[in-house]
Structure 1
Amino acid sequence: MNQNNQSRLEGVKDKLLTVKDWILDHRKIVMPAILIVCVFITVLVAVNANQRDKLEKEAEAASLAAEQQMEEEVQDMPAYDLEENAYPEVNNVVRAYYDAQASGDMETISGLNTYLNDIQKIKVEELSKYIESYPQLDVYTKPGLTDNTYVAYVCSEVKFYDLETTIPGMQTYYIGQDENGNYYINNGTYDDTVSSYIKEVTLQDDVVDLNNKVVVAYNDLLAEDENLSEFLAYMKEKINEDVGEILAQAEQPEQTEEETGETTDETAEETAPVAIKARATDVVNIRVSDSEQADKLGKAQVDQEFTVLEQKENGWSKIEYEGKDAYIKSDYLEVISEEPAEADITQEDNTDSTDNAQNTTGDASTDTENTGSTASIGKAPGDQVKVKETVRVRKSASTDSDVLGTAYVGDTFELVMEQADGWSKVKYKGSNAFIKSEYLE
């Protein structure tokens, strides 16, 4: 057997030597042939790579074209005038919805708005305990993208128990009809086209003016009555605590008689924090710590999802961002899971504008960018505002407007009006001028 293997090995060696000798004898022919083969392989690889790059670029261009087309379709929509109480059917569904919120009628609320998750339902029910009525509701509408749909801006006056003053607010809804012709309310679950359309409409002048009117009225109330601010802060904190307790109780495992009989004084187990999923309801700054003065790590985009690690009592949420801990204002996060968090459940409740003093009423701790939301400095007209970062002073509320000058850190100005479009009107050298609200405090 060994002799046979050795014979075969010798035969292979002889053939290799023969091939080697043949190549050496014909090297003038063989070497150019090898070179041609190598060049051919190189060309083939390059062509395939170019085709792959071409396909990737074509796919990217197609995606960009689709996005641009969608934006153009939204921008090409005619600028309809804002109509006040023009559609009785829409007014009726809004009135029924707000009356149900005041009375805590969750069956009616769930029937009119099927987009609420369990946490939002609990929050609405707890809020209803403080609301006596909505004595005034005005519904301003613009046509939606399809027939029998509307972008509705509901301006309300809410009356709380033990308060004589009614509080103004404004909430945005997308109202449509179901297959049976019944109107329903959608307050946040949109596709990209509807979402872009609502943003475009909301930034139109007549809607911004309406929002500013509500903001001014709300700020004037807070400036006149310190007790009102304390009441709203207490109500929000208490609702958060109550919602957290309800969720914690719902998640506690059922105990047997033996377990509950061990210690009658210890009837509740400690609940470990649970990381929940939430999405951003607006463009908002992501910061390194829970402070508006903290360094910015980035910006959350609308509908961008995050894992919430902790919801703090100071109105901030700790999130996971690019593998690190970061912070976002809780008012601009909406919980999309049904898992419990810690006691401070501070997701934004789009179903009722009173959760943050009617949504568009200028929370003093707002940390959003210019996306049609309320400005962020929380000052009343006539107050002094201070510049946090060097910023341009402009003639009108636009980055394309003429520059009147530069405001430096520490400069102060008299606030004329805090606008809902992310700008603040201030007194500058005896005249009105505009500064981005995010640079003021």
Structure 2
Amino acid sequence: MDNFREWLSDNLRYFMLGGAILLIVVVLFFGIRAFMGSGKGDSSKDTADEQVTADNDQGNVPSSPANDGETDGKKDANPMEKANEEITSLIKSYYTALGDKDITTLRTLVDNLAPADESKITNAKYIEGYEAGDIYTKKGLDDDSYVVYSCFYYICQGIDTKVPALAEFYVVKDTDGNWKIDGAAHDDSDEITKYEVSLRQDDDVKELKAKVQKQYEDAQTADPALAAFLDGLGEDVTGSAETADGTTLVVTEDCNVRAAASSDAEVIGGLSAGTEVVKKGENGDWIQIDYEGSEAYVHSSLLEEKTE
């Protein structure tokens, strides 16, 4: 799965466009955590046991406790709730536009949509579409904001089974009274980041993560083709790691350029799809190139040999 992890780490901005944090996507459950433009990761290994709840007054909200009149005396001051109609419409429209690569519509839904994200959408591979599922909210830092937890599915190229996933957004009301996804929330405010991280310790959030994780595992068990696809996603099918030094390679999609041959190495720049580079060497699954006069590395899965 190392190839897939690198592929995903270099494409997380696409998955998490609009300030969304992908809490669960395939094997990266409680793994990579990336903010818009930050390139930061979180390797915390929280665990959560799936709980079955049955409070008919609160529907299927994951946090709903069995209402037996007995508690441990602690009440969640900010419980997870089903999203209201406006937030639900916003998130569903977002996934529809994302799947359609509709930049014009996305600009109306996402505040501070970066040009780099627009490029990732239009050049994206592997993912054919998205489908929104259940959407939940917790109160934001003020009355005009929410933290949104969106269960959704992404549709892999050539695979029938949809892949369950879970994303987190920070949604705010603009000056016109419209709800929008804050695309720069984590760049502009450490307070928002810390607040969202603290909410992930709530039992209802942990339970929702566990629920989606199980759905993901069940999807792979039921569809071996999906499991094989995810296992092979990001592998070097073009054989760039086997080419000779001096070979001209082409970047297959927008990607990071790193200072060393590791997915944890510093990101020193980026390359757009279609850019040609010359192979200087290799280190494991990494291709050494020259980047602005310095030694740099790109994962081999993101390069292919140039053909005439």
With normalisation by structure 2, the TM-score equals 0.52
Distance 1:83 1:236, change over 3 A: farther
Distance 1:178 1:100, change over 3 A: same
Q: SS of 1:162's equivalent?
A: coil
Residue 183 (1) aligns with residue 179 (2): yes
Partner of 1:197: 195
Partner of 2:146: 150
Q: Match for 1:169: what amino acid?
A: A
Give me the identity figure in percent: 25
Conservation of the 8 A alpha-carbon contact between 2:161 and 2:223: no
Of Structure 1 and Structure 2, which has the larger fraction of its residues in helix?
1
* Deviation of the 1:306 alpha carbon: 4.0
Q: Deviations over 1:62-110 (max 9, x none)?
A: xxxxxxxxxxxxxxx963111023x111111101100001111111123
Residue 104 (1) aligns with residue 101 (2): yes
Distance 1:210 1:110, change over 3 A: same
1:7-406 aligned at under 5 Å gives the runs 79-85=77-83, 87-127=84-124, 130-134=127-131, 136-186=132-182, 188-232=186-230, 236=234, 244-245=251-252, 290=262, 306-308=266-268
Instruction: Please give the alpha-carbon distance, in whole angstroms, between the structure 2 residues aligned to 1:89 and 1:219.
Output: 31
Distance 1:204 1:306, change over 3 A: same
* Deviation of the 1:230 alpha carbon: 3.1
Instruction: Please give the alpha-carbon distance, in whole angstroms, between the structure 1 residues aligned to 2:115 and 2:199.
Output: 30
Number of aligned pairs?
199
Q: Match for 1:104: what amino acid?
A: K
Larger Rg: 1
Instruction: Please give the alpha-carbon distance, in whole angstroms, between the structure 2 residues aligned to 1:189 and 1:315.
Output: 31
Q: Deviations over 1:166-219 (max 9, x none)?
A: 211100000011111121112543411111111111221110110011112112
Q: SS of 1:151's equivalent?
A: strand
The one of the two structures with greater contact order (alpha-carbon pairs below 8 A, sep at least 6) is 2
Partner of 2:5: none
Instruction: Please give the alpha-carbon distance, in whole angstroms, between the structure 2 residues aligned to 1:155 and 1:345.
Output: 29
Distance 1:314 1:226, change over 3 A: farther
Q: Match for 1:308: what amino acid?
A: I
Instruction: Please give the alpha-carbon distance, in whole angstroms, between the structure 2 residues aligned to 1:125 and 1:173.
Output: 21
Distance 1:310 1:123, change over 3 A: closer
Distance 1:306 1:130, change over 3 A: closer
Distance 1:193 1:223, change over 3 A: same
Structure 1: state its 5+ residue gaps.
1-76, 249-272, 277-287, 292-299, 319-324, 328-340, 347-441
Q: Match for 1:94: what amino acid?
A: I
* Deviation of the 1:133 alpha carbon: 4.5
Instruction: Please give the alpha-carbon distance, in whole angstroms, between the structure 2 residues aligned to 1:168 and 1:289.
Output: 31
Instruction: Please give the alpha-carbon distance, in whole angstroms, between the structure 1 residues aligned to 2:104 and 2:221.
Output: 38
Structure 2: state its 5+ residue gaps.
1-74, 241-249, 272-281, 289-294, 304-308
Distance 1:145 1:309, change over 3 A: closer
Instruction: Please give the alpha-carbon distance, in whole angstroms, between the structure 1 residues aligned to 2:210 and 2:144.
Output: 28
* Deviation of the 1:152 alpha carbon: 0.3
Q: Match for 1:244: what amino acid?
A: V
Distance 1:313 1:169, change over 3 A: farther
Greater shift in the superposed pair: 150-159 or 220-229: 220-229
* Deviation of the 1:246 alpha carbon: 6.0
Partner of 1:33: none
Distance 1:180 1:132, change over 3 A: same
Q: SS of 2:228's equivalent?
A: helix
* Deviation of the 1:121 alpha carbon: 2.2
With normalisation by structure 1, the TM-score equals 0.38
Distance 1:128 1:143, change over 3 A: farther
